[in-house]
């Protein structure tokens, strides 16, 4: 019995104890007990994941646990990576949840489901058979759905978000079930080795079908366009520590599923699969960040940013598969490394951002950026946390996303002389998409941070905000440390990620170096430490030198220049809407905003204006084109179906009778 097994058992035991504790312990101590147990479980999960990444493998067969197929657990390096990420995010979220649950989320149900959700997040990457994967996947979907609905009594939108999530996650589940069952059909059993051995017997068409179905199912969980509609609804409406878990850990499972099925179980497949993955990824990245940049709801903005980041990860995965199928394993490993690093970095900064957004929501009761502002003075720690997260998310050095996107761009650019017309068209577009996404993400997070936290408060709620309790700050501090750590010394994890990625495509690690990240096989190196040091030195120089120089002269304190008129008011500030307006104008054709201007004239004269009303709405275009027709068709079908059910018992008995008769006739004819 090795470390992985012990740690996993510990995590499971702690999760189960957590559930029982939630049911038994009184309301006062419940959040503390459940939070501490879940956090400890998360730590165990992380330990197990790290041990698995470092080379310890473990598998177990528990036939009695689940009827018919039993439970198969098998931990390898790839699963270990996602296990470690889930565990770490769960720890942070659980610590934060101790303080956050105090206002109305300390009910027995919510507290008991939280450890189950964490446990399911730890179970999905360690599942060793198709049936175990499906069961843990469904457990994850159901528990997260219940947690999304936690605040349904307080806000009406929660119910609508929950419905969207429930329907879409289950449609995705249906796709996964069909895909994986077709995949497992020719195999001797449903464990991964058996499926892997039998995967080559599938015809290319069937294999392609399996991949597309899995892409639909797993992609919808990862919030990939056009299956993202639930994500910007459900993530904002969930309690914030659950949002962090969903946005930083659960969406990763979609990526895990695609990698597991595409690379591991089906051995890489053909080129068009990965072109499809890459195209979907690039589209999601651009569409997600474009919606984020015009969003005025803080958590919705973060939700769209998740879609963007998962898109970038899929660009890496797609590029990796593409290079692998064109016989360039080194580049394939490099692209996969970039994708995995982005998964880790995204988990760190998105946890931080969602937790900070949760603190803002906790303190002010609103997520509307146009009603926030001025939080720097009253919530300095939260502001620092959000600022750190925003820096990491905006793909600028010294941020985590900068390094992973740099590695990704290196892989894409060095892959340009690849054979094939489609490749030579798609790769340059992918480079441009990554660059555009990085630029827009800077604008997004400048907006979120500047409008949300700096300047003057735009509402009484923002002016009267108070700093969060210590456990919430501790949760943010954990996520913040992880975010800074990965940004400055990514070399701690890169060799391991390189090995995992190398194993996927059958080659060695594509990155080397202890301080400087050096790419193996292609020219390129980057030193995050030196970069951070240089930035720090430059900042000190720019800030300190003028101070020293100016200090010699006589100084005079003067009033803030306000054009000589009255005091500056919050109404003079940039709002989130006005900040994004130029970008909205640039992307007018893509976003197609709906704007109305209503002018009311004074009764006596049409030359005098009494009031001007301006309304702007940016409907999600994908939703309007893709979902509304489907919903309308479903509603129409329902109306037609209603004619069959008139409420007459005789008629229902008749239906039963005639159906049985028809079946008997059918049997008679076919036998």
Partner 1 sequence: MLSLWRKIRRTGRVAEPAPLAPAMARAAAEMGLGGSVQVRHVDAGSCNGCEVEIGSAFGPVYDAERHGARLVASPRHADALLVTGVVTRNMTEPLRRTYDAVPEPCLVVAVGDCARNCGVFAGAYGVAGAVGDVVPTDLEVPGCPPRPEAIVEALRTLTGR
667, with CB counted inside 10 A (0-12, 13-18, 19+), is exposed
Question: Judged by CB, which is closer to partner 1: 559, or 606?
Answer: 559
- Strands of the sheet with 511-512, listed across from one edge: 511-512, 517-519, 525-526
Distance CA 98, CA 28 (A): 11
User: To the nearest whole angstrom, how small is the minimum distance from the Cβ of residue 555 to partner 1?
Assistant: 10
Q: Which residues are CB-contacts of 321 (< 8 A; sequence separation ≥ 6)?
A: 262, 263, 268, 269, 273, 274, 277, 332
Contact 191, 72 (CB under 8 A): yes
* The residue to which tokens 């941070």 are assigned: 449
The helix/strand/coil state of 123 is helix
Question: Judged by CB, which is closer to partner 1: 417, or 564?
Answer: 564
* CA within 13 Å, CB half, 600: 6
Which of 306-314, 455-463, 539-547, 561-569 is the region at the interface with partner 1 (rule: CB under 8 A)? Answer: 561-569
Please identify which residue in 549, 558, 639, 649 interacts with partner 1, judged by CB under 8 A.
Answer: 558
Please identify which residue in 154, 552, 556, 650 interacts with partner 1, judged by CB under 8 A.
Answer: 556
Question: Judged by CB, which is closer to partner 1: 542, or 558?
Answer: 558
Which of 188-196, 235-243, 553-561, 651-659 is the region at the interface with partner 1 (rule: CB under 8 A)? Answer: 553-561
Question: Judged by CB, which is closer to partner 1: 565, or 630?
Answer: 565
User: To the nearest whole angstrom, how small is the minimum distance from the Cβ of residue 433 to partner 1?
Assistant: 39
Total Cβ atoms within 10 A of residue 467: 16
Contact 153, 114 (CB under 8 A): no
Determine if 563 is a binding residue for partner 1 (CB under 8 A): yes
Determine if 549 is a binding residue for partner 1 (CB under 8 A): no
Tokens of 355: 């937790």
Which of 174-182, 230-238, 339-347, 551-559 is the region at the interface with partner 1 (rule: CB under 8 A)? Answer: 551-559
User: To the nearest whole angstrom, how small is the minimum distance from the Cβ of residue 548 to partner 1?
Assistant: 20
Strands (DSSP E) found in 504-554: 511-512, 517-519, 525-526
Distance CA 164, CA 476 (A): 29
Question: Judged by CB, which is closer to partner 1: 523, or 554?
Answer: 554
Element (H, E) at 60: strand 58-62
Please identify which residue in 559, 571, 617, 642 interacts with partner 1, judged by CB under 8 A.
Answer: 559
CA separation, residue 345 to residues 55, 384, 439, 483 (Å): 22, 18, 18, 7
Question: Judged by CB, which is closer to partner 1: 558, or 668?
Answer: 558
Determine if 26 is a binding residue for partner 1 (CB under 8 A): no
Question: Judged by CB, which is closer to partner 1: 561, or 607?
Answer: 561
Please identify which residue in 1, 156, 550, 561 interacts with partner 1, judged by CB under 8 A.
Answer: 561
Peptide bond preceding 398 in cis form (omega within 30 of 0): yes
Backbone CA torsion sign across 71, 77, 81, 82: negative
Binding flags for partner 1, 499-538, as an x/- string (CB under 8 A) = ----------------------------------------
Question: Judged by CB, which is closer to partner 1: 1, or 565?
Answer: 565
Which of 323-331, 557-565, 605-613, 658-666 is the region at the interface with partner 1 (rule: CB under 8 A)? Answer: 557-565
Distance CA 12, CA 594 (A): 50
Which of 73-81, 153-161, 520-528, 559-567 is the region at the interface with partner 1 (rule: CB under 8 A)? Answer: 559-567
Q: Within its chain, how far is the Cα of 333 from the centroid?
A: 23
Question: Judged by CB, which is closer to partner 1: 559, or 650?
Answer: 559
Binding flags for partner 1, 564-593, as an x/- string (CB under 8 A) = xx----------------------------
Q: Tell me which residues touch partner 1 (CB under 8 A).
A: 556, 558-559, 561-565
């Amino acid at each position: 019995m090795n470390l992985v097994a012990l740690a996993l058992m510990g995590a499971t035991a702690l999760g189960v104890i957590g559930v029982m504790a939630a049911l038994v312990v009184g309301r006062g101590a419940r959040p503390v007990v459940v939070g501490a147990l879940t956090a400890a479980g998360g730590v165990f999960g992380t330990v197990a994941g790290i041990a698995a990444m470092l080379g310890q493998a473990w598998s177990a067969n528990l036939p009695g646990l689940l009827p018919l197929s039993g439970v198969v657990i098998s931990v390898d390096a790839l699963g270990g990576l996602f296990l470690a990420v889930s565990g770490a995010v769960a720890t942070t979220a659980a610590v934060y949840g101790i303080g956050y649950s105090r206002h109305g989320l300390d009910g027995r149900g919510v507290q008991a489901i939280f450890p189950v959700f964490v446990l399911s997040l730890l179970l999905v990457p360690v599942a060793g058979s198709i049936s175990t994967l499906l069961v843990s996947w469904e457990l994850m979907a159901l528990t997260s759905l219940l947690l999304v609905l936690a605040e349904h009594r307080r806000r009406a939108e929660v119910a609508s978000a929950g419905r969207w999530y429930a329907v879409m996650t289950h449609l995705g589940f249906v796709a996964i079930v069909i895909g994986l069952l077709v995949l497992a059909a020719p195999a001797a059993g449903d464990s991964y080795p058996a499926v892997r051995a039998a995967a080559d017997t599938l015809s290319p068409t069937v294999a392609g079908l399996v991949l597309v179905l899995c892409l639909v199912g797993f992609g919808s969980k990862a919030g990939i366009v056009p299956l993202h509609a639930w994500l910007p609804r459900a993530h904002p409406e969930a309690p914030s520590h659950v949002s962090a878990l969903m946005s930083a850990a659960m969406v990763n499972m979609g990526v895990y599923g695609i990698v597991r099925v595409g690379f591991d179980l089906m051995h890489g497949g053909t080129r068009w699969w990965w072109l499809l993955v890459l195209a979907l990824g690039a589209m999601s990245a651009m569409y997600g960040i474009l919606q984020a940049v015009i969003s005025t709801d803080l958590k919705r903005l973060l939700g769209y940013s998740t879609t963007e980041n998962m898109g970038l990860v899929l660009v890496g995965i797609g590029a990796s598969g593409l290079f692998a199928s064109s016989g360039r394993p080194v580049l394939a490993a490099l692209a996969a490394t970039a994708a995995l690093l982005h998964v880790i970095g995204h988990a760190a900064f998105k946890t931080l951002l969602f937790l900070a957004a949760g603190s803002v929501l906790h303190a002010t009761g609103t997520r509307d950026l146009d009603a926030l502002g001025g939080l720097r003075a009253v919530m300095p720690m939260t502001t620092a946390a959000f600022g750190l997260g925003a820096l990491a998310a905006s793909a600028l050095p010294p941020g985590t996303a900068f390094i992973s996107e740099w590695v990704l761009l290196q892989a894409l650019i060095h892959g340009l002389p690849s054979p094939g017309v489609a490749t030579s068209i798609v790769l340059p577009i992918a480079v441009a998409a990554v660059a555009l996404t990085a630029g827009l993400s800077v604008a997004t997070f400048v907006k979120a941070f500047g409008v949300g936290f700096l300047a003057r408060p735009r509402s009484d709620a923002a002016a009267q905000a108070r700093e969060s309790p210590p456990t919430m700050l501790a949760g943010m501090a954990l996520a913040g440390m992880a975010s800074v750590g990965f940004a400055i010394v990514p070399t701690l994890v890169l060799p391991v990620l390189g090995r995992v990625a190398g194993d996927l495509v059958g080659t060695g690690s594509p990155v080397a170096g202890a301080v400087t990240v050096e790419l193996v096989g292609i020219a390129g190196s980057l030193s995050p430490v030196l970069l951070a040091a240089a930035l720090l030195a430059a900042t000190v120089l720019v800030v300190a030198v003028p101070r020293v120089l100016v200090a010699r002269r006589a100084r005079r304190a003067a009033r803030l220049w306000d054009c000589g008129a009255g005091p500056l008011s919050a109404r003079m500030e940039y709002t989130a809407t006005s900040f994004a307006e130029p970008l909205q104008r640039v992307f007018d054709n893509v976003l197609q905003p709906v704007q109305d201007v209503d002018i009311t004239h004074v009764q006596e004269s049409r030359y005098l204006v009494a009031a001007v009303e301006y309304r702007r709405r940016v409907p999600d275009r994908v939703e309007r084109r893709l979902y509304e027709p489907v919903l309308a068709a479903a509603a129409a079908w329902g109306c037609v179906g209603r004619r069959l059910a008139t409420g007459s018992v005789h008629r229902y008995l008749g239906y039963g009778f005639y159906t049985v008769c028809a079946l008997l006739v059918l049997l008679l004819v076919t036998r």
